[in-house]
A and B are shown apart, each in its own frame.
Chain A
Amino acid sequence: MIAAAYDIKKAYHDSDQLIEVLIGTSLEINKHDFICITGKSGCGKSTLLHIMGLLDAPDAGEVFIAGNKISSLSSEAALIRNRDLGFVFQFHYLVDDLTAAENVALPIMIGGKSSSVALSRARELLSLLGLASRLNRYPNQLSGGEQQRVALARALANEPALVLADEPTGNLDPAHSLEVWEMMTRLNRELGQAFVIVTHDEEAAARAPISYELIGGVLRQS
């Protein structure tokens, strides 16, 4: 098992109201898993993903990464996010002033490698994702699908055991959406990274080997 979350609870205050989005949900992720989580808007899918990715802290419950219990507030969280986790968001969140290759090289440089090593690895990854001709393009010179593929390459840069994707195709047209889905399944198959994907696309989720639906604050296997 490469990551797990047990009995996660999370609630938000909205005016005077307490909204409980996760009421004790658990998830275990093994090597090579390809997991899709679906659910209605606002049901807490992204919240669960953020908690799994140490971006947010749960009100209760435990998160384990690589067998170690870890909190998003701990000093090691940043190191683990850099080394063991990869993130893809609905919006690509690429750094505007860096080229595609430089964006992909970021996590490697944060990990302490030199820029030449990082850029070399970034070029390899982008070529793997079919973006060899877009290495030196800035994000605003790329199409939506290309931007998301660059974000995917960035998530894979440090060869993390787990990639967490929060509606990675939510902002793309069907053609680009399909392109990104195919890319993720191919990477899961070829590189062996586990993927946890939060999505509204139930059709795509149905094709995933493991699929959950978040209902009433807990995950139910579809």
Chain B
Amino acid sequence: MDRLETFFLSKYLHAPKRNLFRFSFVFMVLGIVLSVGILSAGLNLFEGYESTLRSLLLDSFAHISIQASGGGYMSLEQSKKVIHKLDSRAELVSAIPSIQYTMMAMANDKIRTAQLRAYDFESEFPYAKYIEDYPGALAPGEVVVGHYLARDLGLEPGDEMTLNYPQLDRISPLGMMSGSQIFRIAALYRSGYYENDRSIVICRMEDAESFLLLTDSISKIEVRIRNAEQASSYAREYSELLGIEYVSIPWDIYAHSLLRLVEMEKWLIFIVFSFLVLIAGFNVVSAVSTIIIDKGNEIAVLKTLGASPRSIKRIFALRVGLAAIIAVALGQLFGAFLSWVVEKQSFYRLKGDVYFIDTLGASITPFNLMAVFLVASALIALCIYLPLKQIDRVQIITLFRNQA
């Protein structure tokens, strides 16, 4: 930047009102603010969706599930040995045995699919934060039910529901025998992860054993670790440590595709919304063209006084560019405001069966802020640069004749 450009830059920065807030810039600035605002809000909401989904997945399921290799049940004795082997590991937060089974929940002549999850409530229960009015532990015959499941069955805490499952190993001349038992709802489970909220039924390990006719058996050991992102590498270590009798399955083996898809959608939205900034860029082209016509005599004078076309272009680019940068920053603030409004509103909720979660959350990250700023600035810089090329072609004498 030469002396002249530095002088004009300091002039613009010291008197922005006179130099940058001009009527010819109004529509340019509005266009940028709106388009960048929408781009930022879109990205913030997708980021919020992705992080909410990720955190719900991590909080609602085991980070690593350790199961018997054959896929069947694991004895309590085996589970104790496994937990003992893992107990001293630094990354371990908890390792709790659980029984899981798919069954039918019935009440008020309604039937819904339910996922039974049974735990030993003696140790700290990792999903307690999602249970409304968590009683601390469940009494025999009590269950915690997903709030959507309770709503679908028309139930409330204190009501009773019947759990029913086909006993695949007990076949009578009339067909498969079904196991059935009545449970009382102690509390509701509300995580925000739709799939769990509409199907989960949590009960005591002892109740599940007697109901499912199991003796000292569990389905899996649910392991939670400090850094869930490293679940895959720890799962490999556990497989080596525990031998071929057991398989260790990290959480992301199921969620990987889903999270990749969400991330891809986020960047697709980013690209699509970036076109809005490009459309707003047309206003920038128009503003620059207007300023070139409007300031034709200044261009002519600067050229006459010996300024190079490159220097003149930079002076005008600085002027429009500074106004545009302020507009981009305002757009990002507007985007944050839009995200906040969407997060706080209550008239629209996500469809949980489509989007897995039912609440819209926004997340503003430095990386996304920078990405929006850089992409918007690059597009706008292009829209400033292209019309400024006219300055190269214009002859001084033509400018003076046109201005006279």
Residues of A within 8 A of B (CB): 50, 53, 55-56, 78-83, 87, 89-91, 93-98, 102, 105-107, 109-115, 118, 154
Contact = CB atoms under 8 A, between A and B. Distances in A.
A109 B3 contact: yes
Given A55-B396, A102-B11, A114-B3, A81 B304 contact: yes
A110 B304 contact: no
B11 A110 contact: no
B244 interface: no
B301 A110 contact: no
B7 A56 contact: no
Interface string B291-311: 000000110111111111001
Given A91-B403, A102-B11, A78 B303 contact: yes
B3 A93 contact: no
B29 to A, nearest CB: 18
B71 to A, nearest CB: 78
Contacts of A79: 306
A55 B397 contact: yes
B312 to A, nearest CB: 10
Contact of A95 (B2, B10, B18, B298): B298
B404 interface: yes
24 contacts: A50-B397, A55-B304, A78-B306, A78-B308, A79-B306, A80-B306, A81-B304, A82-B307, A87-B305, A89-B400, A93-B301, A94-B301, A95-B298, A95-B301, A96-B298, A97-B11, A106-B301, A107-B306, A109-B7, A110-B302, A110-B311, A113-B3, A115-B6, A115-B7
Contacts of B297: 91, 93
Given A91-B403, A95-B298, A81 B306 contact: yes
A22 B308 CA distance: 29
B289 interface: no
B24 interface: no
Interface of B: 2-4, 6-7, 10-11, 18-19, 297-298, 300-308, 311, 395-397, 400, 403-404
Contacts of B301: 93-95, 106
B303 to A, nearest CB: 7
A82 B305 contact: yes
Contacts of B306: 78-83, 107, 110-111
Given A82-B305, A96-B298, A102-B7, 13 more contacts: A50-B397, A78-B303, A80-B306, A82-B307, A87-B305, A93-B400, A95-B301, A95-B302, A97-B18, A97-B19, A110-B307, A112-B3, A115-B3
Contacts of B19: 97
Contact of B404 (A87, A91, A115, A118): A91
A58 to B, nearest CB: 12
A112 B2 CA distance: 8
Nearest to A155: B305
Contact of B305 (A81, A98, A102): A81
B395 to A, nearest CB: 8
B304 A87 contact: yes
A114 B5 CA distance: 11
Query: What are the 9 A-B residue pairs with the smallest beta carbon separation, nearest first?
Result: A82-B306, A107-B305, A115-B7, A56-B397, A78-B306, A93-B301, A109-B4, A109-B3, A81-B306
Contacts of B11: 97-98, 102
Nearest to B12: A97
Looking at A89, A91, A112, A113, which has the most chain B CB atoms within 10 Å of its CB? A89
Contacts of A110: 3-4, 302, 305-307, 311
A119 B396 CA distance: 26
A215 B19 CA distance: 46
Contacts of B6: 115
A161 to B, nearest CB: 15
Contacts of A94: 301
Looking at B3, B6, B300, which has the most chain A CB atoms within 10 Å of its CB? B3
A113 B7 CA distance: 11
A214 B306 CA distance: 28
A102 B11 CA distance: 10
Contacts of B396: 55-56
Contacts of A96: 298
Contacts of B311: 110
Contacts of B298: 93, 95-96
Nearest to A117: B3
A150 B115 CA distance: 87
Nearest to B303: A78
